[in-house]
Amino acid sequence: EPEVTQTPSHQVTQMGQEVILRCVPISNHLYFYWYRQILGQKVEFLVSFYNNEISEKSEIFDDQFSVERPDGSNFTLKIRSTKLEDSAMYFCASFRGAQETQYFGPGTRLLVL
C-alpha cells in the first residue's frame, strides 16, 4: 500500500537555526499538508498546498515558515529561525481529492534547544 514518508524521523537543533523537514507524499495525490502536534496536545493544521501554491494556512504558519515542492515528489517545510516553542511532532499528509481520506506520514520529532 502506498504511504507518505518523512525524513528525518528526529531532529535536534539550536534555537535560531533553520530546519527543513522533508516529506514524500503519495504519488497521485493532489493536496499536501503540514500539521504539528506539541507533546500531549492536539493535532494542529499549519498549511495546505495545492497546484503548487499555498491554499490555506493557519495563524501558526507565520513568516518563519515556508513550504515548497521543489521537484514534483518532495514536499518540504522550512522553519527559518527556530524557537523553543517550535518543538513538536510535525506530520505531513497527502490527499487525493475532496471527501477522500488524508494519509499521514510517521512524523518528524523536532526538538529546539
Partner 1 sequence: SQKIEQNSEALNIQEGKTATLTCNYTNYSPAYLQWYRQDPGRGPVFLLLIRENEKEKRKERLKVTFDTTLKQSLFHITASQPADSATYLCALDLGNYGQNFVFGPGTRLSVLP
> Reduced to 3 states, what is the DSSP secondary structure of residue 21?
strand
Helix, strand counts (H, E) of the chain? 0, 11
Q: Does 103 bind partner 1 (CB under 8 A)?
A: yes
| Contacts to partner 1 from residues 3-32, by CB under 8 A | 4, 31
Q: Which is nearer to partner 1, 10 or 80 (CB)?
A: 10
- Our CB check for partner 1 shows the closer of 14 and 99 to be 99
What is the binding site for partner 1 (CB under 8 A)? 4, 31, 33, 35, 41-45, 48, 50, 55-56, 58, 89, 91, 93, 95, 97-107, 109
